[in-house]
Amino acid sequence: MIFNSVLDYFLEHNRYLNILGILFILFVAWIFSRKRSHINFRLVLSALFLQFVVGILVLKTSAGLY
């Protein structure tokens, strides 16, 4: 019952489901990493931020039309 309500909420608000998908992929990569302590989380967060900025530029400006 609770699971169905949570699932329905995420299906209605697809943007949150996309964020969870990205976090899930990062979590799986972290789980399968042999040297978890060597992961530079600052680099990972910087890359995600840059990807977000490029996505905004492509979707919200005329440069994304070409």
pLDDT at 51: 92
Q: Say yes or no: 27 and 43 in one domain.
A: no
Q: Say yes or no: 7 and 28 in one domain.
A: yes
CA distance 58 to 35: 35
CA distance 29 to 25: 6
Contact at 8 Å (CB) between 64 and 57?
yes
What is the number of structural domains in the chain?
2
pLDDT in tens, 29-66: 999 999 999 999 999 999 999 999 998 888 888 877 77
Q: Which domain holds residue 7?
A: 1-32
Contact at 8 Å (CB) between 24 and 30?
no
| The pTM of the whole model exceeds 0.85 | no
